[in-house]
Amino acid sequence: MRFSNLHIVAIILMLIISINSVSFSQNFLKQTDSISNNTIDKYKIYCGNSTSIPIMGSKPNGVDLTVKYYWIKSPDTLNTAFWTQTSPSDTFPNYLAPNLGAIQMFYKRIVIFNGIEDTSNACVVKVLPGSISLSENIVNPTIQSVYPGHLPLTFFGSNITGGSVSPFDSLKYVWLKSQDPNFGIALAATEGTYFEPNLIFNEGADTTFYYDRFVYILLPTAELACVLPSNLVEVVLNDTNFIFTSDTIICSGTDASLISGNSDTNYTYQWQKYNGTSWEYIFGATNFEYFPGILTNTTKFRRVVHISSYNLISNIITIYVTPNISNNFISDESPQQICAGQSGA
C-alpha cells in the first residue's frame, strides 16, 4: 500500500497529538495531592463520672487552611458497615467523645482536602469503673510577654484535686507546645511545673507560642486514664521599642523632623547615632522621642530602651542629607538687543 506525502504528514501529526495527549494525561495524574500524618490517639479511658474526653489528632501534612474534618464512630472496628458520622457539627481537628458508660466505642477522623479523603487510625474509648475524677488543672501565668533574646518564666501547674486516685498512686503529666492553638506537640516534660529552655525569641520572629498541660492517671497496665486538660497559656514576643518615623531626606544645614517611637513610663530611653564605625550615645537624648536639630551629613539613629537589667534596641532610621544647590546663576555681562520676532543668540 502506498501513501502520498499528504497521508504521511497527516499520520505524523496524529502521532504528535497522541504523544502529547499521553504526556498530558500522565502529568495530570502525577499532579494529585496526598495527605499524610493523619493520626489520632490510639485509646482513651474515662473516669467514671467524666462528662467528656478529648481525642487529640495530629496536624496533617499536605493540606492548607481549606482542609475539612469530620468524625465517625463504631462499636465494632471489624465491620465497616457499623461506622457512622458522629455529628455534622463535629468538624474540628480534635473531638470531645461523650461518656457512654459501659459501652465501648471506636472513633476515626476523616480529613478532606482538594476532593481527597484520608482516614486516621481508630481510637478506642472506654470507661474506668467507679467515681474517680480529676480536677483543678490550672496553669499560670496565663500569658507572658517575652523580650527578644530572653526566656519566659517557669509555668506552674496547680495540684490536682477531686478525690483520691487510689489504687492508682501515680499521675502522668504531658505538656504540649504549638504555634497553632488547635494542635500541640508533646514535650519531654513530665513534671507539674515546666520551664521552656529552648524558647528564645528573636526580634522580628514569629511571635506566639501556646502551651497546655494534660494530666492522666497512670494505670497498672501502663495505660493513661481520666485525662484532664488545662487552660491554654500563651507566650508572646513583646517588641516595645519601635521607631515610627520613616527615613527622610533633608537639605544640608536644615532641621530634621522629630523622631518618635512608642513610649512607656516604666522604661528609660537613650538615643544613639552611628559614627561610621560604631554606635555612640547622644548626650542628653533620654526622652522617648528625639529632635536631631541641624544636620550636615547623612546620619543613622536608633533608640535603646532600658528594661530591668537588659537593653532592647529599636529599628534604625536614616536621615539622608543632600548638599545645598549652588552655582545656579546666569550671566548678564553681554546684554543683547533683538527685534521682535527674532531669536536670541
User: Where are the extended beta strands (E) located within 114-253?
Assistant: 116-119, 123-127, 139-140, 143-146, 156-157, 171-178, 185-186, 208-218, 224-229, 233-237, 248-251
- CA 196 – CA 202 distance, rounded (Å): 15
Residue 256 corresponds to which cell in the numbers above?
Answer: 530634621
- What's phi and psi for 324, nearest 5 deg? -65, 150
Domains 43-127 and 248-322 share a fold: yes
Q: What is the largest CA-CA distance in the chain?
A: 120
- CA 306 – CA 326 distance, rounded (Å): 45
Give me the tens of pLDDT residue by residue for the chain, a chain 345 residues long.
444 554 444 444 454 444 444 333 333 333 345 888 899 988 888 776 666 778 889 888 888 878 899 999 998 877 777 899 999 999 999 998 888 877 889 999 999 998 899 999 999 988 776 666 777 888 888 888 776 666 778 888 888 775 444 545 578 888 888 888 777 777 766 777 776 656 665 555 557 888 888 888 877 777 777 778 888 888 887 766 777 888 999 998 889 999 988 787 777 899 999 999 999 999 999 999 999 999 999 999 999 888 766 677 888 999 999 987 777 677 666 677 777 777 766
- Could you tell me the residue ranges of all domains in the chain? 43-127, 139-237, 248-322
CB atoms inside a 10 Å sphere around CB 256: 20
Question: What's the predicted TM-score (pTM) here?
Answer: 0.51
| DSSP 8-state symbol, 77 | S
User: In Å, what is the CA distance from 189 to each residue of 175, 211, 224, 238, 248?
Assistant: 6, 12, 16, 26, 51
The single-letter code of the amino acid at 186 is A
pLDDT tens-place string over residues 44-74: 887 766 667 788 898 888 888 788 999 999 9
Q: Judging by DSSP bridges, how do beta strands 52-55 and 156-157 pair with one another? A: unpaired
* Domain 43-127 fold: Immunoglobulin-like (2.60.40)
CATH code for the structural domain at 248-322: 2.60.40.10
CATH code for the structural domain at 139-237: 2.60.40
Q: Where are the alpha helices (DSSP H) in 31-109?
A: none
What are the residues whose beta carbons fall under 8 Å from the beta carbon of 122, sequence distance 6 or more?
42, 77, 106, 107, 108
Residue 96 corresponds to which cell in the numbers above?
Answer: 470531645
